[in-house]
Amino acid sequence: MKIAIGGDHAGFGYKKELIPKLEKWGYTVTDFGTSNEDSVDYPDFAHPVAQAVESGECEIGILICGTGNGVAITANKHQKIRAGLCWNEEVASLIRQHNDANVLSMPARFITLEEAEKITKTFLTTAFEGGRHARRVEKMIC
């Protein structure tokens, strides 16, 4: 599975730690930046990740900023993106099972790195349940 990952300066540290983990777990990762802790604007990194998922270049996106909200709001401007903000494993599981989220958004300033790793693993290994949830997901588009 190909994964697009990106985030701003607040997410850089966790992104740097997550990439080798993802590769160890067998995923192919494209890093859309940022590449250090210098202050940047999160949309500059959220849009490329969203575009990579929307185009099919990558199947899943992972975005990280301070609250996880800036990158999620930006990614959700893209028609084919369903980005979910996630702060624990249960939410990670539910946004895959019920919402068919294709982008995981995490708040680096409010979760530990260990939590971020567990959330990521859960998100990537949980399937969409379909059924009544498919009908609801179809109704999201406007």
| Closest distance to ligand RB5 from the beta carbon of 138 (Å) | 29
Chain residue whose CB lies nearest ligand RB5? 70
Furthest-apart CA atoms within the chain: distance in Å = 45
**Residue closer to ligand RB5, measured from CB, 67 or 99:** 67
78 is catalytic: no
| Closest distance to ligand RB5 from the beta carbon of 39 (Å) | 7
Q: Of the listed 58, 65, 78, 86, which one is catalytic?
A: 65
CA distance 16 to 79: 28
Tokens of 106: 């995490």
**Residue closer to ligand RB5, measured from CB, 100 or 107:** 107
Using DSSP, state whether 99 is helix, strand or coil: coil
Our CA angle for 124, 36, 87, nearest 5°, is: 35
Are residues 102 and 76 in contact, defined by beta-carbon separation less than 8 angstroms? no
**Residue closer to ligand RB5, measured from CB, 37 or 57:** 37
| Closest distance to ligand RB5 from the beta carbon of 19 (Å) | 18
For residue 87, how far is the Cα from the chain centroid? 12
Continuous segment of H or E residues that includes residue 30 = strand 28-31
Residues near ligand RB5 (CB under 6 A) are 8, 10, 42, 65-67, 69-70
**Residue closer to ligand RB5, measured from CB, 72 or 101:** 72
| Closest distance to ligand RB5 from the beta carbon of 128 (Å) | 27
Pairing status of strand 2-7 against strand 60-65: parallel
Name the residues annotated as catalytic: 65, 98
